[in-house]
Chains A and B, each alone.
Chain A
């Protein structure tokens, strides 16, 4: 098995960089069977997921990852990732705590896609 922690770290870094830069370009990370739960709204499929993310009512956003933990989620190379961090939106100076859990699955072609993505704001 590939080093899942390294994959988790690379993934997280890439994901948030891309999210902060241009979240409409996240589609390649999702697949048809992907599922996003964003603040309790559940969305399936790469297209609708990215549409949802793009439609969030803020222009600029900055994620600061505070903690990252990863575990293998199954024997076929799945990875469970738990990220907590702070989110700064537009000109708001007060960061918001968030927690985001991902399950990555190998796509069979040597890379990974996001199978589950559960995002939640946890204030305080």
Chain B
């Protein structure tokens, strides 16, 4: 920020300990000290207007309308009795509750050493030969490496601003991110060693150039721009009025529009001055919620593209009465203005097309609620849409396509026996060809909400983890693949005891899918083309019991391949069993999960035959099996309810006790 001349009078010097009036935009204060031409500025429109140009009034203020008359009433977030106004008022009310942060905003001097770093070394790196001097790749490098420094945090490090000063690169980032970036000191980047230090508060820092570097003229220009900005800021509405810049008496007086110079020259300068007024993005966010760029004859926003960098968090934007004719004209802002909730494009050639452009607009402005004063989405709808957008793939309910309830029965037994009797589990479902392996994922995201569940030590699992991303040693890879009941038994004896949630009463703790899987090895060797089996993927959690009798939660994913067993073995065997463990996180799919995971998701299967449908319902009621399977069962028994019921009983008995009933197995094999 502009360093005040030592002799400059300072408003409210002693007014409060919050260092108000040290420079920059000042909140309106009743009876406040008047401004001096080269001193601080009081955001009182009447004073400002008196001082600068009597004819001008503060936007949103009560003074006489300027040039465009009442035309502004058609739009502008803070104007008129439209939804935009309500919105702006809400923002103001919120703002009023945050007095302290606003006071901070007024401390507009830049003392932000904590959030800035200076980096040396780019100029001697190979990347310096890039078209942009290597800036882009350096920033990407820093963000990537710093993000990886803290494995406990899911948050990616973001560099918000960067600046090249000779051989120095000065970057700005949030305080936490800065800490992480600092760790990269002495890292090598494209053949050069980086030196990363807190940015030293030299007098020649950004926006605060050494006096000797800055001509008195430049200094004066800056002061004048600040004066202009001051008259255009409404602290109550948190509005920065950048409308009709070309008609601004203050700017005209400065001679900035001499010749052909228009908005394009002055706007970046204004933004630089604005930027200097705030220490952090949060301060900006608190101070300026709305911006109007009305009446600037903009046919696109290239001339004002800096807005998106300087004020990426504004919520209300007024572009009334410009010459914007198509959506592309807003491209210079990219997708950076993502917090816009109110957008005014009234009086632009694009206006008639807007209804058909809503979807496109929402891509640029995903929080948009009010367009040209018309509220077309509620905040709740926006929240829902954003939530959906976070999971664009959509999270379908689990797909459990069982064959003869083989999958369901296996899972029901597995979760109980794995906790209570692993050797029985081995006997029932594993044979000497079964393969089991385990891997741990220590870097899994831990969910949207803050997750404070302790991560128990990984130590009991690390020596078994067969994560091929990490384990490259072939003997290790081989030794961590456990083939055959005996090897599996050794593994399971070494792994901690567990307790899985009860699958009947706590179905929401599981997400289980099951699909037929053809082409498995026929253990009898009779089918050269292989036999059919199932692939089951199960996601869930368990409590782990360790020596200290403490219980810890972990999340797991487990994939099983089930197939028919060989002679003398279990009728259904696990061909493969791969377990993956990670830090506990909720299964966020509960909201649209089927209530009972171990059922087919489809509703009653319609056969088109009322009699058959009635039979299906009866069978479902008697057996509790899924409608789809009931239809299958009935079809196979020639729509004989009793036969179907018997078949069901046999099936259940068979799988429950793992006794061999050939017909069922045949069905399974297909």
Contacts and interface: CB of A to CB of B under 8 A. Distances in A.
Interface string A64-103: 0111111111111010101010110111111111010101
A123 B392 contact: no
B515 A94 contact: no
Nearest to B525: A75
Nearest to B575: A73
B614 interface: no
A90 B578 CA distance: 31
A54 interface: no
Interface string B582-624: 1011111100000000000100000000000000000000000
A5 B156 contact: no
Contacts of B398: 40, 120
Nearest to B521: A74
Interface residues of B, number: 63
Nearest to A64: B443
Given A84-B580, A94-B448, A122-B511, A69 B439 contact: yes
B90 interface: no
Given A8-B468, A101-B535, A123-B589, A56 B392 contact: yes
Interface residues of A, number: 52
B306 to A, nearest CB: 21
Nearest to B466: A69
Contacts of A115: 519
Contact of A82 (B155, B580, B586): B580
A122 B587 contact: yes
Nearest to B520: A74
Interface string B368-402: 00000000000000000000011111111111010
Given A84-B441, A95-B154, A39 B535 contact: no
B392 A57 contact: yes
A1 interface: no
Contact of A68 (B392, B394, B469, B582): B469
B578 A82 contact: yes
Nearest to B540: A122
Contacts of B427: none
A109 interface: no
Contacts of A40: 396-399, 513, 601
Contact of B587 (A94, A101, A124): A124
Contact of A92 (B389, B468, B515): B389
B468 A86 contact: no
A103 B443 CA distance: 25
B125 interface: no
Interface in A45-73: 56-58, 65-73
Contact of B586 (A39, A90, A124): A124
Given A56-B392, A73-B520, A99-B539, 12 more contacts: A35-B515, A40-B601, A67-B441, A67-B467, A69-B580, A71-B576, A92-B392, A94-B390, A97-B585, A120-B398, A120-B511, A121-B391
Interface of B: 154-156, 335, 338, 389-399, 401, 435, 437, 439-441, 443-448, 451, 466-469, 474, 477, 481, 511, 513, 515, 517, 519-521, 530, 535, 537, 539, 555, 557, 559, 561, 575-576, 578, 580, 582, 584-589, 601
16 contacts: A8-B468, A39-B393, A40-B601, A56-B393, A67-B439, A80-B561, A84-B439, A89-B392, A94-B154, A101-B559, A116-B535, A121-B395, A123-B395, A123-B447, A124-B584, A124-B586
